[in-house]
Amino acid sequence: MNDDAIALSGPLYDFVVSTILLLTTHNGVYSSPCHQQPGTHPLLTQVDISEGIPKQVSVHFCKQCERYLQPPGTWMQCAFESRELLALCLKKLKGSMNKVRLIDAGFLWTEPHSKRIKTKLTIQKEVMNGAILQQVFVVEFVVLSQMCDDCHRVEAKDFWKAVVQVRQKTQHKKTFYYLEQLLLKHKLHQTALNIKEIHDGLDFYYSSKQHAQKMVDFLQCTVPCRSKTSQRLISHDIHSNTFNYKSTFSIEIVPVCKDNVVCLSPRLAQSLGNFGQVCVCVRVTSTIHLIDPNTLQIAEVDGNTYWRNPFNGLCSPRQLEEFLVMDIDVIRDQKLGSGAGVRSNKHVLAEVWVQKTSEMDTGQQYHCRTFLGHLLNIGDLVLGYDFANSNVNDEYLNKMNPHHVPDVVLIKKSYDRTRRVKRRNWKLQEMARDKEGMDTDDERQYQDFLEDLEEDEALRKNINIYKDTSKIPVESDTDDDGAPRISLAEMLEEMSLNDATGGDGADMMTD
Ligand SMILES: [Zn+2]
């Protein structure tokens, strides 16, 4: 553009640096700019195309870690007068800029301690047939200081007023992984000052008792648990007669996990509709979901019922063994006695003969009933517990007629884990927390949890699943062993943390 062609409008407003009028021919190419005397063309003096774009905007800056807030919740490190900072500023204007075209953007010098960032923007807009107005104007960003959540957390760590201690006495963290996803989805982790992972649970620290109480309320309606509250007097101000307490909420989640085999008390089994005493926990949500592998009957046990009639997992997932299906007979039309409860319509009852893959040389086979009839075929691998050869010490199991205790209880079909990991094109968010050393088994347990989600639609409907764009999908028919997968429709777009440097904001700039 030729400098001579610029027609200054005169100071229509303080923030306007210059305005020029460009004319276009009918094929859309610019002809020479309008050679008007400064301030004479009415369009130049009467039209402000930056109308609606705020000229003073605030940005938030954390002094502790020197980061800027990219709304809604990301804090970004941006150097003074950097491209990143410009993108962050422009993002603030994005909503008001949709009727004009941004041609150029840059910084105007400001004194570094002024707490002001000045930007000079050049925009264009068609004002009449073929006539385009180009305007250069200044937007000032006022830097307000605000402590970011991370710094807040560090600062407040020692000033917590309430702690929620969540515990579960099990050997598997499945329920915790599930709980983590629920908390993330409902953004309940955000009010905590600090979250600490310890061996058998999580501690959530809060600056107020109300926040902690909210967490307790949430837990009580999402997982079967019971709670206890205690408080400790920290200080007493005699002048104002105020008492300063630290409160502790202890939450105990039922010690039963998905894929546990449990033995119910005779009383509880009967009250659930003549349920088998030995049954399998297929899911833990706000209740414990049980299935009877002998009859396909299902039942839910809530927290209150559980604590009145407690039962335990008979074996840990580590004791799961691999079996080969030698023969299978689906049982149709099984008659249930009177007073029996609901039967699952998602499972199929079958009689199977299985052999342990670790005992293939012996020819020893086991017979059992299973609820996996819809999944199993001869030659399939399946995971289960061997009760015929193990010593389980359980109050109710010990009193049972040994003939009613199954030799083997099958839990789930076994698929090639390496292949599943390779093919998994989704991921979960993770809750930031302090860890007191990792258990060596954590990674395997987490994989178990991811597989559970793939296998159980009901479980994953409560949590957010994200596309993993870093995974290149491997698609081949020979590779498909029928392992359950999650459809793309169920996945959310990946959250983008670096929007400002690579996203829409950057598109608005010209170099
Ligand atoms: Zn900070």
Q: What pLDDT is recorded for position 272?
A: 93
348 lies in the same domain as 445: no
Q: What pLDDT is recorded for position 262?
A: 96
pLDDT grade, residue 419 (50/70/90)?
Answer: confident
Quick check: is 420 in a domain?
no
CA of 147 to the centre of ligand 1 (A): 5
Quick check: is 163 in a domain?
yes
Would the pLDDT of 30 be above 60? Answer: no
Rg (C-alpha) for the chain, rounded Å, is 33
Q: pLDDT of 320-348, one tens digit each?
A: 999 999 999 999 877 777 677 788 989 99
Nearest residue to 2 (alpha-carbon basis) of 28, 27, 20, 29: 20
406 lies in the same domain as 274: yes
Question: Partners of 244 in the beta sheet?
Answer: 235
DSSP readout, 152-218?
HHHHHGGG--EEEEEEE-SS--HHHHHHHHHHHHTTGGGG-SEEEEETTEEEEEESSHHHHHHHHHH
132 lies in the same domain as 172: no
Name, of 234-238, 251-255, 462-466, the range with top average pLDDT: 251-255
Residue 131 near residue 23 (C-beta atoms within 8 A)? yes
Q: What pLDDT is recorded for position 390?
A: 86
Would the pLDDT of 34 be above 60? Answer: no
481 lies in the same domain as 364: no
CA of 211 to the centre of ligand 1 (A): 22
CA of 62 to the centre of ligand 1 (A): 5
Name, of 44-58, 237-251, 295-309, 386-400, the range with top average pLDDT: 295-309
Last residue in a domain, options 147, 164, 197: 147
Q: What pLDDT is recorded for position 1?
A: 39
Q: What pLDDT is recorded for position 119?
A: 92
Residue with tokens 């670790």: 358
CA of 148 to the centre of ligand 1 (A): 4
Tokens of 113: 């301690």
Residue with tokens 């009967």: 270
Q: pLDDT of 228-248, one tens digit each?
A: 999 887 777 677 777 778 899
What mean pLDDT value characterizes the chain? Answer: 83
CA angle 507, 126, 138 (to 5 degrees): 60
403 lies in the same domain as 297: yes
CA of 73 to the centre of ligand 1 (A): 12
CA of 61 to the centre of ligand 1 (A): 8
- Total residue length of the chain: 511
Beta-carbon count within 10 A of 429 CB: 16
Q: pLDDT of 153-188, one tens digit each?
A: 776 666 788 999 999 988 888 889 999 999 999 988
Would the pLDDT of 77 be above 80? Answer: yes
pTM: 0.65
Would the pLDDT of 4 be above 50? Answer: no
Would the pLDDT of 269 be above 90? Answer: yes
Quick check: is 193 in a domain?
yes
233 lies in the same domain as 129: no
pLDDT grade, residue 9 (50/70/90)?
Answer: very low
Residue 26 near residue 130 (C-beta atoms within 8 A)? yes
8 lies in the same domain as 125: yes
Q: Which domain holds residue 387?
A: 261-414
Quick check: is 424 in a domain?
no
User: What percent of the chain lies above the pLDDT cut of 70?
Assistant: 84
Last residue in a domain, options 147, 182, 213: 147
126 lies in the same domain as 23: yes
Quick check: is 447 in a domain?
yes
Compute the distance between CA of residue 218 and CA of residue 251 in angstroms, rounded to an integer.
11
H, E, C per residue of 199-216: CCEEEEEECCHHHHHHHH
pLDDT grade, residue 473 (50/70/90)?
Answer: low
User: E-strand spans in 278-320?
Assistant: 278-284, 288-291, 298-301
CA of 68 to the centre of ligand 1 (A): 9
68 lies in the same domain as 162: no
310 lies in the same domain as 390: yes
Q: What pLDDT is recorded for position 510?
A: 35
Q: What pLDDT is recorded for position 305?
A: 96
Question: Which is higher by pLDDT, 258 or 21?
Answer: 258
267 lies in the same domain as 404: yes
CA of 76 to the centre of ligand 1 (A): 10
Q: What pLDDT is recorded for position 501?
A: 32
Q: What pLDDT is recorded for position 196?
A: 87
Q: What is the DSSP letter of 24?
A: B
Cis previous bond, 72, omega within 30:
yes
165 lies in the same domain as 277: no
DSSP readout, 90-112?
HHHHGGGGTTSEEEEEEEE---G
CA of 436 to the centre of ligand 1 (A): 24
Lowest mean pLDDT among 155-169, 276-290, 362-376, 386-400: 155-169
CA of 75 to the centre of ligand 1 (A): 8
Quick check: is 421 in a domain?
no
H, E, C per residue of 30-46: ECCCCCCCCCCCHHHHH
Compute the distance between CA of residue 204 and CA of residue 195 in angstroms, rounded to an integer.
5
CA of 70 to the centre of ligand 1 (A): 13
Question: Which is higher by pLDDT, 474 or 83?
Answer: 83
Overall number of domains in the chain: 3
Nearest residue to 109 (alpha-carbon basis) of 119, 101, 99, 100: 119
Compute the distance between CA of residue 78 and CA of residue 76 in angstroms, rounded to an integer.
6
CA of 355 to the centre of ligand 1 (A): 59
Would the pLDDT of 496 be above 60? Answer: no
Q: What pLDDT is recorded for position 379?
A: 95
CA of 115 to the centre of ligand 1 (A): 17
Question: Which is higher by pLDDT, 317 or 220?
Answer: 220
CA of 338 to the centre of ligand 1 (A): 65
Quick check: is 373 in a domain?
yes
Last residue in a domain, options 414, 443, 477: 414
CA of 429 to the centre of ligand 1 (A): 22
pLDDT grade, residue 318 (50/70/90)?
Answer: confident
Would the pLDDT of 10 be above 80? Answer: no
Residue 66 near residue 77 (C-beta atoms within 8 A)? yes
Q: pLDDT of 188-230, one tens digit each?
A: 888 888 888 887 889 999 988 999 999 999 999 999 999 999 9
Q: What pLDDT is recorded for position 287?
A: 94
Quick check: is 439 in a domain?
yes
